[in-house]
Amino acid sequence: MTSLADLARTHSPLDKEDIDHLNRLTAEWAFLADLSFGDLLLHVRADDGSWMIVDQVRPATNQTMYAIDFIGVWATQANSLMDQAAETGARTEGEISLNVPVVGGDETTARVVAIPVCRNGNVIAVLTKEWVVRAGRNLGELERNYSLIFEQFAHMIAAGTFPFPGRVADSSAAPRVGDGVMMLDLDAAVTYVSPNANSALHRVGIQANPVGMRLAELGFHDGPARQAFERREPVVEEFEQGTEVTLLARCVPLLRGSGDQAVVDGGLLLIRDVTELRKRDRLLLSKDATIREIHHRVKNNLQTISSLLRLQARRLESEEAKAAVAESVRRIRTIALVHESLSREPGDDIAFIEIVRPLLRLAEEGLQSPDRPVRFSVSGTGGRVPAHAASPLSVVMTELLQNAVDHGFPEGSGGGDVAVVLSHDGNVLSLRVVDNGRGVEPGFDLDAQTGLGLSIVRTLVTTELDGTITMRPATIDDLSAVGLGADVGRPCGTVVELRVPTLDD
């Protein structure tokens, strides 16, 4: 759908500041539609005098009149009323014949109020309130008060004092009219309270009739009202009223007059009880903190196991047994590293690169020797992976790095390079480990290997991660793609490709 700004720039002579004013109006006007019980349409005038509808909003307090959107459509029904409002700078009201069906009835006429939208004394647009008058029901007290409040804002729109200039409090998460309405005078005394607002007052222990009493006298937090009156702009504030109730309040000051001469004449206070919402937020925060604490304790326990195994290895005499224990310690340290990373990350997933970098550091510390220096590098990020996949992925990567060093660069080979390449395409993580060592035989079959390391890799990838893995000799192009070189007359090295689908499901 084309935006208000695009339509206004294309079909009217309005400048950037005028369009910004209209954008601020439409950012605020949801509560105006609720107060008016009617559909609101915003029109801008083209050079030829025709009117283009650039935005539209429906009330949440009443049934909409129009089932379709008219944004980007040339107006054909209330043009004379809008012309009069634009020329006089005053609101006009009349009746129009409907040429489209209305929701919930077969009426052929509707009432329209055309309100000039002014900025710096000039009419830049016209706002229309359109509704159908249906017989058989008289307006109640709530409807009458809401209509009076809407009329005050209509006067402010025509005077150019609404919407408020500059940056104001975000209204997207603020209370709506249906949550609860209180009207205040200049002294922050209540002049009207809606039934839902009255219920909110009762929930915080205020049983007295609030009409005629100031908020402070009621024992109700009046900070939003005082700030809104002093700053002459809307204020949103969340506060605890009493010991168990959390309220979200938005106070919009009502101004009388125009320009710099406008004075505060009261305010509209919208309130919503968000107690249950904040309780759920606190439970989620508590759950998140608990999960991170568990990861931290698991990491500590794994480090303790690793230390015990190293102590045990010192008492062993068999070199084969010492090597087996050392490999177990390395795998345990890998899993501990994952839990340490998860203990620092909020949520149920983690950036995979935050695990890969420490793993490379562990490999540099534990797999190198003076006569075979191996340089490790990583490119790409790999996106985010869920916690349940982080541990098996890390173990797989550690085994692949170990395999690349042990088989690609035996003792005395002079060392070489190992590159890790990460990418994340939609729901698939791709991991490539490329080395320029002595490589594997052309007919190498991964499924036929019986070594413990590759058996662990194959099992984790195919069962726990539901992925695929291939291992093949590298080509010159493979090495060039990751910035590695190969000596002439020697094998190019090895490429291991791992693909793990649907990691973020």
Nearest Cα residue to 156 out of 259, 28, 21: 259
* Separation of alpha carbons 444 and 436, rounded Å: 17
CA angle, 313 then 318 then 321, to 5°? 55
Other residues' Cβ atoms within 10 Å of the Cβ of residue 182 = 26
Q: Which pLDDT value is given to residue 505?
A: 47
| Listed ranges 171-175, 271-275, 328-332; the one with the highest mean pLDDT | 271-275
Other residues' Cβ atoms within 10 Å of the Cβ of residue 6 = 13
Pairing mode, if any, of strands 122-131 and 39-45? antiparallel
The half-sphere exposure of 143 on its side-chain side, counting CA atoms within 13 A, is 9
* Separation of alpha carbons 88 and 82, rounded Å: 10
Q: Are 376 and 401 spatial neighbours (Cβ–Cβ below 8 Å)? A: yes
Residue range 372-414, pLDDT digits in tens? 788 888 888 888 888 788 888 888 888 888 888 888 887 767 7
Assessment of whether the complete model's pTM goes beyond 0.85: no
Token digits for 55? 């935005």
* Separation of alpha carbons 405 and 410, rounded Å: 7
Pairing mode, if any, of strands 494-501 and 245-256? unpaired
* Separation of alpha carbons 130 and 112, rounded Å: 5
Residue range 287-316, pLDDT digits in tens? 667 677 777 788 788 888 888 888 888 888
* Separation of alpha carbons 486 and 480, rounded Å: 9
Q: Give the rounded percent of residues in the chain with a pLDDT score beyond 70.
A: 93
Q: What is the DSSP letter of 463?
A: I
Q: Which pLDDT value is given to residue 490?
A: 57
| Listed ranges 50-54, 245-249, 351-355, 445-449; the one with the highest mean pLDDT | 50-54
Confidence of residue 487 (pLDDT cuts 50, 70, 90): low
Burial 379-402 (b: 16+ CB within 10 A, else e): ebebbbbebebbbbbbbbbbbbbb
Pairing mode, if any, of strands 416-425 and 428-435? antiparallel
Helical ranges in 345-386 per DSSP H: 353-367
Residue 488 pLDDT > 60? no
Q: Which residue has the higher pLDDT, 458 or 295?
A: 458
User: What is the pLDDT averaged over residues 438-450?
Assistant: 79
Residue range 96-135, pLDDT digits in tens? 888 787 887 777 888 999 999 999 989 999 999 999 887 6
User: What is the pLDDT averaged over residues 59-64?
Assistant: 88
Residue 15 pLDDT > 50? yes
Residue range 332-361, pLDDT digits in tens? 887 787 777 777 776 677 888 888 888 888
Nearest Cα residue to 52 out of 15, 90, 3: 3
The residue type found at 444 is F
Residue range 225-282, pLDDT digits in tens? 999 999 888 999 988 887 678 889 999 999 998 877 889 999 999 999 888 887 787 7
Q: Give the rounded percent of residues in the chain with a pLDDT score beyond 90.
A: 32
* Separation of alpha carbons 371 and 193, rounded Å: 84
